[in-house]
Structure 1
């Protein structure tokens, strides 16, 4: 702001000098004579002409001033090469992790795991595991934390032979979180005996024969009643990861450490040079869409048979869509990263900041997120957050969004739904709204401190 004020001051001085050059040099005598002549009745037309000249000069000066102000954005190009480069590269400390390298290592490991899973589970009646999909901030290209980046992957599950999955919406769930149950149903395989090989039909063969000659069905291993159990599935994943690890090529140079978790499989792989933390989520795809029901943590006390609807894959594909169209010096991810880092410790969630930036990326052309627009886009994020807090409304980005790229596939009920309000609690609880506004002021102070003093 100080640099901008100095530039405008220099422009103003320059314009005043230009105006002085356009007026007569002996201003005192000339203006006195002109005024005396203007008072003479027989020189009214001359005075009128003088007035037109003065007005013309005034409006000329105003036009040049406006042009100077309007050209401030172009001037930012020159500032960005110096001051913005210093601000971005030296003044602000960004996370030092090589996210791209970490994502590549994670996907390589997951591909090796998936290949061995296929061999181990080929003739079993456990879920069929598909190729892992990288989701979350790291695979979107940013991270809110300077340390402890989590590389999150989602592993789609298909029903094994003789089984089918049926998703049932839990109507008792919270309005802002949709939960499903995955009902496992046995299917008749009598007519598909040749395709199923030596498989016995779970429905029509005697139970004693099934127990003696065939592995148990999925209902007897990972289900509670007729529904797939998240906790049992997570324990099964942990056992698989530990058992298969010695066969992987990464085991020669990395050390595996399993981490405690109940609804996912979390672990670290470490060597002398690096440590990569990975979280494996598992889920069932809704039809042929990019929406899944997954094992990600829900609200406290979520029953083990409830699977939360997740939009992680759709959001990841949106960021990939933006990345393909962004100019090389686009800073949309740095804007998101900075705000997400600043909100740590406040009542705002990382997902709130991500949602705001996604909405802005969907309305502001990606060409307007370049280095020279950095401060303007930070201002846009700040203003958007303030407006959402004042209106107590922040719409979900995926649900009901009619402007998503065509490559993102949504179920019909998601595409046509009314987007839920992520700030609905602010409208119901005045104390929560007052607290949020106070935390917004704190966030503004943090942002000002970073831009002025660095971080």
Structure 2
């Protein structure tokens, strides 16, 4: 009965064709989708015939077994047709969809709305973690740390630590799995007195993740204002006098060959976090446990059964933009003096931008959360699914992500992933995106750059592309299972 209701809902909700990340009128894509629909129809017929043959073989079984096997053709039909609907009906009802969009009308249907409410809120199992509460407690802890960072590092020659910025999925409002939530914060660093930071793009190898080096340069502090602070000039005072009367420069503590070292900086952060913890209000009730990480400061705080994992990333801002060079690695084996260019702050602000414009019952985050849960354990990264959804959020009006649009949007996500796989191209969402919200600040070279292809490895390696297409089929069966069975 549930399958019957679900298929009715699918037929009603997918009547408008899903909008694509690319050109919606692409004739070649339409042709491929029609071919795909035919293939799934043939598969449905074959499954029904096999089930009928199996039923005949079981004709002498008890009534219970007969009823069980009689359900198998229906379940196979449901799964096959679910895939057909998600992949093949994107062009169906296009004229009606355009008419509704042009007139601004809402497609009201109480039966459909009630069925979708049952599907979304009662049938599908969602994570129950309270991300908002976790984000608030994390930021309260980080604000307390920031105050003590200022006290401890005053008049030192270590980086000056600014207020933490919440980034990552939790601060964007979603999480693929509640037991694995990590609350990521980015701590901007500025140079201490007598020092300056200079970002140098690493061009030794052409990679699809840009990396920078942070060159640390000593500056003259011989002016009267700085001399009044009892600071010796690292450039013009004798080394012996500097060693006797002043702490070492940043070049002598956290740098390697004049470049800020990520791993040395991470170890320094661990020492700060451990040393300051007893002075914080949270230390009276919470327990701190430091966790291993080479390029960040990862720790866990617990109070009874309540537990939060927090990862402190650190980085240097590119000018006055929302782009940073961050300690988070861009690829395996990143040298300790390379800092990856990070769009995490810009992406977090994009989700805030969407949240301000979205209706109260918007399900865009649940669509993202559902797909990122489905891809766990197969080849697609959560960032791939997040990129697909961000592109759609930038093209499909936020008013069309409500409950009545839930299955249409799932179809959009599925179809767009398929098209990107076939074209072996998925553009980075922030870099080179002409439709990116203008109030989110980007450096000029980011805004005007050619978007990196997140699927470049599929174009270079045919075996990887074949594997990805196979994993896409697994993803479709997982989606069908969730919609039919709730898990």
Q: TM-score range by the shorter chain?
A: 0.7 to 0.9
Of 250, 267, 281, the match for 1:218:
250
Aligned to 2:218: 186
- Farther-moved stretch of structure 1 (156-165 vs 400-409): 400-409
Unaligned runs of at least 5 residues, structure 2: 1-5, 14-94
2:162–2:189 CA contact under 8 A, matched in 1: yes
Q: Is the partner of 2:111 in helix, strand or coil?
A: helix
Matched, 1:101 2:133: yes
- Farther-moved stretch of structure 1 (422-431 vs 73-82): 73-82
Q: For residues 170 and 237 of structure 1, what CA distance do their matches in structure 2 show?
A: 25
Higher relative contact order (CA 8 A, sep 6+): 2
Q: For residues 230 and 7 of structure 1, what CA distance do their matches in structure 2 show?
A: 53
C-alpha distance 5-108 of structure 1, shift in aligned 2 (>3 A): closer
* Aligned-CA RMSD value: 2.0
- What's the CA shift string for 1:261-307, capped at 9, x where partnerless? 00000000100141000000000000000000010023222110000
Of 2, 6, 17, the match for 2:7:
2
Q: For residues 129 and 80 of structure 1, what CA distance do their matches in structure 2 show?
A: 52
The structural deviation recorded for 1:4 is: 4.8
The structural deviation recorded for 1:75 is: 6.2
Q: Is the partner of 2:395 in helix, strand or coil?
A: coil
C-alpha distance 5-101 of structure 1, shift in aligned 2 (>3 A): closer
Aligned to 2:428: 396
Aligned to 2:231: 199
Q: Is the partner of 2:179 in helix, strand or coil?
A: coil
C-alpha distance 356-182 of structure 1, shift in aligned 2 (>3 A): same
Q: Is the partner of 2:223 in helix, strand or coil?
A: helix
Alignment of 1:10-409 (within 5 A): 77-194=109-226, 197-409=229-441
Q: For residues 115 and 273 of structure 1, what CA distance do their matches in structure 2 show?
A: 28
1:395–1:421 CA contact under 8 A, matched in 2: yes
- Farther-moved stretch of structure 1 (267-276 vs 334-343): 267-276
Q: For residues 232 and 337 of structure 1, what CA distance do their matches in structure 2 show?
A: 35
- What's the CA shift string for 1:104-143, capped at 9, x where partnerless? 0000000000000000000100000000000000000000
Q: For residues 10 and 246 of structure 2, what CA distance do their matches in structure 1 show?
A: 80
Q: For residues 448 and 236 of structure 2, what CA distance do their matches in structure 1 show?
A: 42
2:12–2:112 CA contact under 8 A, matched in 1: no
Quick check: which has more Rg, 1 or 2?
Answer: 1
- What's the CA shift string for 1:334-375, capped at 9, x where partnerless? 000000000001110000000000000000000000011000
2:167–2:348 CA contact under 8 A, matched in 1: yes
Q: For residues 120 and 224 of structure 2, what CA distance do their matches in structure 1 show?
A: 63
1:161–1:196 CA contact under 8 A, matched in 2: no
2:157–2:192 CA contact under 8 A, matched in 1: yes
Q: What TM-score, normalized by structure 2, do the two folds share?
A: 0.79
The number of residue pairs the alignment matches comes to 397
Q: For residues 7 and 352 of structure 1, what CA distance do their matches in structure 2 show?
A: 29
2:427–2:451 CA contact under 8 A, matched in 1: yes
1:94–1:146 CA contact under 8 A, matched in 2: no
2:201–2:213 CA contact under 8 A, matched in 1: yes
The structural deviation recorded for 1:225 is: 1.3
Q: For residues 382 and 178 of structure 1, what CA distance do their matches in structure 2 show?
A: 29
The structural deviation recorded for 1:88 is: 1.0
The structural deviation recorded for 1:395 is: 0.4
1:322–1:366 CA contact under 8 A, matched in 2: yes
- What's the CA shift string for 1:164-222, capped at 9, x where partnerless? 00000000244211010000000000014447600000000011110000000000000
2:214–2:260 CA contact under 8 A, matched in 1: yes
2:10–2:407 CA contact under 8 A, matched in 1: no
Aligned to 2:448: 416
Unaligned runs of at least 5 residues, structure 1: 9-65
Q: For residues 227 and 433 of structure 2, what CA distance do their matches in structure 1 show?
A: 43
- Farther-moved stretch of structure 1 (157-166 vs 300-309): 300-309
The structural deviation recorded for 1:259 is: 0.2
The structural deviation recorded for 1:86 is: 1.4
2:191–2:197 CA contact under 8 A, matched in 1: yes
Q: For residues 194 and 4 of structure 1, what CA distance do their matches in structure 2 show?
A: 71
